[in-house]
Structure 1
Amino acid sequence: MPGTIPLSASELHALVITERVNSSLSMAGIFFVLITYTFSSHFDKPINRLIFFATWGNIGSTVASLISDAGPLAVVGDKPAPLCQLQGFLVQMFLGVDAYWAFCMAINVYLVFFRGYSTDQLRSLDFYYLLACFALSFIPAITFVFISSPSRGHVYGPAIIWCWISPNWDWMRIVFLYAIVWAAIVFAFAVYAMAGKVIWNKRRHLDGFLNPLNENPFTQIVTTEIEITHQERFIVKEDDETQITSERPKHFDPYSVNVQVDPTAQPGRPMPAPMRMRGITRDIAESETNPDAWLYARVAFLFFLALLITWVPSSVNRVYAMANPGVTNFALNYVSSLVFPLQGFWNVIVYIVTSQQACRRLWSSMTRRSSARQNANFGPNFTGGDVDGQRRFPSNSKQRLRSISSFSNS
C-alpha cells in the first residue's frame, strides 16, 4: 500500500518465528484432543464434545499459521499464487470458527440455565451447530477466491504475517470476520452475565462449581448406615442314627459379606431409608438441573475466556490500523502473531482442565505399559519382579543374600 511504513527484516523474522512456534504448540494440542477423544472413552463426555468439534476448525487456522510468510513470498507481481490463495482461504474459513462455536456454547448455556435442557437435548443440536458454524465461514471464504478487480487486484493477497484479505480490501476484514466475531462475543457475554447472576445467587452452594480445577464438584457424598445381622450356620452331618438334641454343635461354617459403595454410581432405584445423601451442591444440581449441564456451562465459560485472549489484542491492532492508515505497529502485530496461532493451544488447556481424571488415567496406563515393556525386554532370565504373587530373585542374588547374612551374624 502506498505510504505504508514497512517492518524491518528482523521484526518480520520475529513475527514468523513466533507464529510458527506457537502453531506447533497448537498442532500438538490438536492431535492430543483428536486422539484422546476418539479412542478413549474417558474423554468422551458431553462437556468435551464441542471442544472436539471446534478443534477441527483449529486445524485449518494452524496450518495457515505454519505456512506463515511462505504465502506472501510466493506472490510474484500481480499474479495470484496458489499457496497465497490457499492460505487466505484457510484464514478466512477457520480463523473465526472458535468464535462461532463460542456463540453456540452460549446458546446451550442459555438453554441449560433458563430452559432446563439436559445434555441429551443439547446433543440433538450438534448437527445444526456444525452446519451453521462451518457454512458461515465457507460461503465467504470460497467466494473471495473468485473476486478481483483491475484496480484492487485479488481479494486474497499478502498481508503482514500471512496471506489473507489484502489491504486494498481491508473493509472486508471488518465486515466478514471481525464484526461477526464480536457480535458472537457480545451475545455470549450477555448470556454469561445472566448465568453469572444465577451462579452468584447460589454461590454459597456452588463453591466447587466456581473452581475450574475442581473437575467434578457435584460428586455425591453418601453416608451409608448398614445394619448387620448375623447368625451361625450349623453343619449337621447326615447319619442314619443322627439324633437332634438341644446341645450346640461343635462345628459351624462362618461366612462374610463385603459391601462396597461406588460414589460415582447413579442408583437405579430409590435409596432405602437408612441411606442418606449429604452435600447441598448435589441436592441443588439434581433438583434444579442436570449436573452435567452445569459442568457444560463452566466449560463454555472457560472457552469464552480463551476466545477473549485471542481476539481482544488482534482487534486492538485492527482498530489501530484503521485509525492510523499506512502505519504498522510492530508491538501490536507481534501480539497478534502470538495469540492467533495459539487458539488450538488454549482449547486443549480447557480440555485438559475439564478432563483431569481422564488425563491421570491415561498417564497411569502409559506408565504401566512402559514398565511392562521394560520388564519384557529383560527376557525370561529376569526374575526380579513379582511372579505368581511371590518376589523372585536370581540365584546369584540369593547367594549374595546368604553372604550378607553370614557377615552380619559374625
Structure 2
Amino acid sequence: MTVPAVSSGPSPSQLETLELLERIGGSASLVSVMIIFVTYGLIARARNPRNTFIVFASIANVGASIGCIISQDGLHAGEDSILCRAQSFLVHIFMQSDAWWSFGMSFNTFLVVSGRTDPDTFNKWMYSLICFGGPFITGFTLFFIYDPVRGPVYGATLVWCWIREDWASIRLFTSYIFVWICIIGSLILNTIVGYRIFYIRNQIRSFSNSLSLSAIDNQLPLTNTRSNTQGSEHPIINTQDSTTHAPTSDTTKPMSIVVGSTLRTPDTSLRSPKSRHSLAVTSHSGSDNVPKTPRIANATKGVISRFRLQDPVKRAYLRTTFMFTISVLVTWVPASINRIRSLTGGTVPFSNQVVMAAVMPLQGLWNAAIFFATSHSILREVAREKWGLWVLKSTTIDEEVAERAVVGQAHMDEDPDRTDSGSDIELRHVSRIPVKGN
C-alpha cells in the first residue's frame, strides 16, 4: 500500500527565494510608477485620458508595491502587529484595484467608441470613487470581522500577511470574484469595441470606394454641338485649335478645359472657321444645368473625413485598453490557479508559488510599459523640441501622424476651388467613359 506524500510546505531556502522575488518585483514596480508620475507631470501632451487611467491605476500600484516589499517582515512581526495588519490592508485593497481600473478603462473606451462621451474628457473622480472605493469598503470592513474559533480575518499566509486560510471563502468572494468579473467584463467590452471599430472602418472604406466610382460615373458629359453641315461622326480631339463658345448668361461659368474638333469633309475649304470647330465643353453654374451630385459628394466626403479623424483615436483607446487588460490577466492567472488547487484540496507546487511571487508584484512595471509604449511618439517629439535629441523613428504609423495626414487629405478632398486640369491623355480617357442614362 502506497502512502501519499504529505507536503510540509516550502523549506526556509524556498521561502527566501519567494521573499527575494517579491521584493525585487515590488521595487521594480515602485520605481516604474514613480517614473510614470514624473513623466505625466512634466509633459503636458502626455496628459490624455488614456494615460490618466494608467496614472490612477499606478496610484494603486504604489500601495501594492509597498505591500510586496514588506514581504515576510509582517509575518515575522506577528499576526497581531500593526505591520502585519497594514500589509494585509494594502495587499487586499491595492492588489485588486488594477483589475477595477482595467474594467473602468474598457467601459470608458466603449462609451467613446459608441459616441456617448468625449474622447478628450472623462469623469476621473467618479471612476476613482468606484475603483478605489469598492476594494476599500471590503478591506476596511474585514478589520471588524472576528470569530472566537477562527480568529481575525487578517493574518498570516504563506508569503505575506493577508486574509488567513481559515477565511478562504472571504478571500474568494471579496477579492478573486471581483477581479475575474472585471477581467471578463473588460474582455467582453474590448471585443465589442474592436468589432465596432473595424466594422465601421470597413463600411467607411467600402462607401468611400463606391463614392469614388460614383464620382467617375457622374462626370460632366461632353456637349457635342454639331452643325448641320457636319460630315463626320468621329471628330478628332485637338486641344491646340481655338474654339468659339456659345453666349453665356450671368449664371454661366465656362470651364478652363476646352476641346476642339476638326471635321474633315470635302467642303472644308468652303466653310468659315467658326463651323470647323464645333465641339466644346462648357460648364454652367446655374441650378438647372449643374447636377447636385458634386454637392452631395462633398458633403459625404466631409462625413467620411470626420470618421477618419476619429478612427486613429479610437484605435489608440482600444490598443491601450487591450494591453491593460492582458497585463491584469497575466498577473492574476497564476494566483487564481493556486487558489483553485487549494480549494479543491490539492497541494500547490513550489514552482507555482515561484510564478505567483514573480508575477504579482509586477503590476506597476506592466503599467509603465503600457504608458511608454502608447506615448513613445509624444515623448520622442518632446525630446526633439526641448533637447534636440535624435530618437529612432518607429516603424508603425503613430495616431497623431495619421490624424494629421487625414486632416490634410480631407482638406484636399473637400476643396471646391481646385482648378487643376488633366492632360490631353486624361481628357481622352474621361471622354471614353460611358455616361449613365445615355
TM range (shorter): 0.5 to 0.7
* 3-state SS in 1 of match to 2:8: coil
Cα deviation, 1:292-323, whole Å, max 9, x if unaligned, reads 34422221111111111111121111111111
**CA displacement at 1:368 relative to structure 2:** 6.4
Pick aligned residue for 2:364 from 344, 354, 365: 344
User: TM-score w.r.t. structure 2 length?
Assistant: 0.61
Aligned-pair identity in percent equals 31
What one-letter code is carried by the residue in structure 2 that aligns with 1:183? I
Please, what is the CA RMSD of the aligned residues? 2.8
Task: State the shift of 1:140 in Å.
Answer: 1.3
Distance 1:282 1:25 in 2: 44
Distance 1:119 1:196, change over 3 A: closer
CA deviations 1:182-238 (Å, max 9, x no partner) are 11111111111112222443676999xxxxxxxxxxxxxxxxxxxxxxxxxxxxxxx
Three-state SS of the structure 1 residue aligned to 2:44 is coil
Q: Is the counterpart of residue 85 in structure 1 residue 85 in structure 2?
A: yes
CA deviations on 1:339-362 (whole Å, 9 max, x unpaired) are 110000000000000110233356
SS of 1:91's partner is helix
- Size of the aligned set, in residue pairs, is 290
Cα distance between partner residues in 2 of 1:312 and 1:11: 22
- Kept after mapping to 1: 8 A contact 2:331/2:359: yes
Q: Which amino acid aligns with 2:194?
A: G
Correspondence 1:36 to 2:39? yes
* Whole-angstrom CA distance in 2 between matches of 1:311 and 1:15: 17
* Residue number in structure 2 paired with 1:359: 379
Give the 3 Å change call, closer, same or farther, for CA 365–8 of structure 1 in structure 2.
farther
CA contact (8 A) 1:118 1:293 kept: no
How far apart are the structure 2 equivalents of 1:115 and 1:342? 34
- The 1:205–1:311 alpha-carbon spacing in structure 2 relative to 1, beyond 3 Å, is farther
Contact 1:46/1:292 (CA < 8 Å) preserved in 2?
no
- Matched to 2:308, the amino acid is A
Indicate yes or no: 2:159 matched with 1:161. Answer: yes
1:175 Cα offset (Å): 0.2
CA deviation map 1:136-182 (0-9, x unaligned): 01111112122222211111111111100011111111100100111
Please state if 1:316 is matched with 2:314: no
Deviations 1:31-82 (A, max 9, x none): 011111112213212221100111100000000000001011111xxx6111
Residue 76 of structure 2, aligned match among 73, 76, 94: 73
Q: Which of the pair has the greater relative contact order for Cα pairs under 8 Å at 6+ separation?
A: 1
Q: Secondary structure at the match of 2:46?
A: coil
Aligned residue identity for 2:95: L
- Change over 3 Å in CA distance of 1:320–1:363 after alignment to 2: farther
SS of the equivalent of 1:157 reads strand
Q: Distance in 2 between matches of 1:206 and 1:331?
A: 51
Matched with 2:97 is 97
CA distance in structure 2 between the aligned counterparts of 1:191 and 1:133, rounded to whole angstroms: 17
Asked if 1:107 corresponds to 2:107, the answer is yes
Q: 1:285 aligns with which of 302, 308, 313?
A: 308
| Corresponding position of 1:330 | 350
Query: Unaligned regions of 5+ residues in structure 1, if any?
Result: 208-277, 370-410
Aligned partners of 1:46 and 1:296 also within 8 Å: no
The gaps in structure 2 that reach 5 residues or longer are: 1-5, 206-300, 390-438
Decide whether the 8 Å contact of 2:63 with 2:91 is kept in 1: yes
Q: How far 1:113 sits from its partner (Å)?
A: 2.1
